[in-house]
Amino acid sequence: MPVGGTGRDRSYIYAQLSRHFMLPVLARLRTQRLFCRPSFARPLARQREDRGSLHSTATRSHPKMPIPPALLTPDLSTPSDGVYPQPLRQTLAGQTSQYITSTPSPLAAQQSKVPPPTSAVEASKRLAAWTAVDRHILPEHKVIGIGSGSTVPYVVERIVAQGKAVNKDRVFIPTGFQSKELIVNAELLLGDVDQYPVIDVTIDGADEVDHDLNCIKGGGGCHLREKVLAEAADTYVPTIERSAMIMRSTDYSFVLVADYRKNSKVLGTMFKQGIPIEVVPFAYTKILQNLHLLGSPRAVLRMAKAKAGPVVSDNGNFIIDAPFPEEMMQDPYTLLTRIKMLTGVVEVGLFCHMAKAAYFGNQDGSVTIKWHDGRVEQVQADKSPLAEKSQAEALGAAVAKLSASTLAP
Residues with a known catalytic role? 226
Check the CA dihedral 261-267-270-273 and report its sign.
positive
- Strand-pair partners of 348: 277
Dist. CA 368–CA 360, nearest whole Å:
5
**Chain CA centroid to CA 225, Å:** 13
Dist. CA 351–CA 336, nearest whole Å:
9
Which residues, other chains included, contact 116 with Cβ-Cβ below 8 Å and sequence gap of 6+? none
Dihedral, CA of residue 35, residue 36, residue 40 and residue 42, to nearest 10 = -140
Please state, in angstroms and as integers, the Cα–Cα distance from residue 196 to each residue in 47, 142, 185, following that order.
Answer: 79, 11, 21
Check the CA dihedral 331-337-338-342 and report its sign.
positive
